[in-house]
């Protein structure tokens, strides 16, 4: 064995020992660190506030302008409402999560800033139809709105009657 081979042997040996020790120090440090695991169904992970989860809609602000539906690249928003003057009678505002990729493109164009993505992400179902979510918080008209609509209609009728005479 030449002297260079011998010194290489020693270097290999000490390298092996040192790198093993170093590796074990690293794993020991991780071992002593607090685990990052979250016990999922019992605890929720901290999503950091900018998470793009399932949408929610502030229905009273929405003006049925269809901008979000037009912006969506995969056409998963569908909406239907009847206008009663200023009041809207909502029939449907659905979002098909079979197609939605949670890209947030529907959120930006909204003129009223009333569609948002929240921190809820659990979309587990047993039926694909369940993935078409209804974002409406109430359907049709509230009692208050019905009253307003009735008032408006009454005023119209009154005006029409008054004008005719």
Partner 1 sequence: MDGNFISHLLSASLPPGFPFWGLALLAAFLGALCVVGFVSILALVSVWLERKIAGHIQARLGPMRTGGWHGWSQTLADAIKLLTKEDVILRGADPVLFRLAPALVMGSALAMFAVLPFAPGVQFADIDLGVYFLLAVASLTTIGVIMAGWGSNNKWSLYGAMREAAQATSYEIPLALSLIPPILHFGTFSLLSATEQQSGWGGMQWYIFSDAFWVAIPSFFLFFTAALAENKRAPFDLPESESELVAGFHTEYSGLRFAFFFLEEYAAMFAASAVATAYWLGGWNFPGMTFLSTGSLWLPILGALAFLLKAMFLVCVMIWIRWTLPRLRIDQVMTLGWKYLTPLALGIMVAAAGWEAWRASL
> Residue 55: helix, strand or coil by DSSP?
strand
DSSP 92: E
> CA-to-CA distance for 141 and 124, rounded, in angstroms?
31
- Which residue number, 21 or 74, has a Cβ lying nearer to ligand SF4? 74
The option from partner 1, ligand SF4, none interacting with 102 (CB < 5 to 8 A, set by class) reads ligand SF4
Q: Least distance (Å) from ligand SF4 to the CB of residue 91?
A: 13
**Cα torsion through 88, 90, 91, 94, rounded to 10:** 130
Residue 132 β-bridge partners: 96
Cβ distance to ligand SF4 smaller for residue 96 or 148: 96
Q: Which does 26 bind (CB under 5 to 8 A by kind): ligand SF4, partner 1, none?
A: partner 1
115-117 and 55-57: which strand pairing? antiparallel
Options 7, 9, 91, 154; binder of partner 1; rule CB under 8 A? 9
- Binding to partner 1 (CB under 8 A) within 19-48 occurs at 20, 23-24, 26-28, 30-31, 33, 35-37, 39
Asked whether the beta carbons of 58 and 72 are under 8 A apart, the reply is no
Contacts with partner 1 by CB under 8 A lie at 9, 12-13, 16, 20, 23-24, 26-28, 30-31, 33, 35-37, 39
């Amino acid at each position: 064995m030449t002297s260079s081979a011998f010194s290489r042997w020693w270097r290999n040996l000490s390298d092996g020992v040192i790198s093993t020790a170093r590796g074990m120090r690293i794993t020991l440090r991780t071992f002593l660190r607090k685990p990052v695991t979250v016990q999922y169904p019992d605890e929720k992970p901290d999503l950091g506030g900018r998470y793009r989860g399932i949408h929610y809609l502030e229905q009273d602000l929405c003006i049925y302008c269809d901008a979000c539906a037009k912006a969506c690249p995969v056409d998963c928003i569908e909406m239907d409402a009847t206008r009663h003057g200023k009041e809207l009678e909502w029939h449907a505002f659905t979002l098909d999560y079979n197609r939605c990729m949670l890209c947030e493109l529907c959120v930006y164009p909204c003129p009223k800033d009333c569609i948002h993505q929240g921190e809820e992400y659990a979309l587990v179902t047993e039926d694909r139809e369940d993935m078409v979510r209804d974002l409406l918080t109430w359907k049709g008209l509230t009692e208050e709105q019905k009253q307003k609509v009735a008032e408006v209609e009454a005023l119209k009728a009154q005006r029409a009657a008054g004008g005719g005479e």
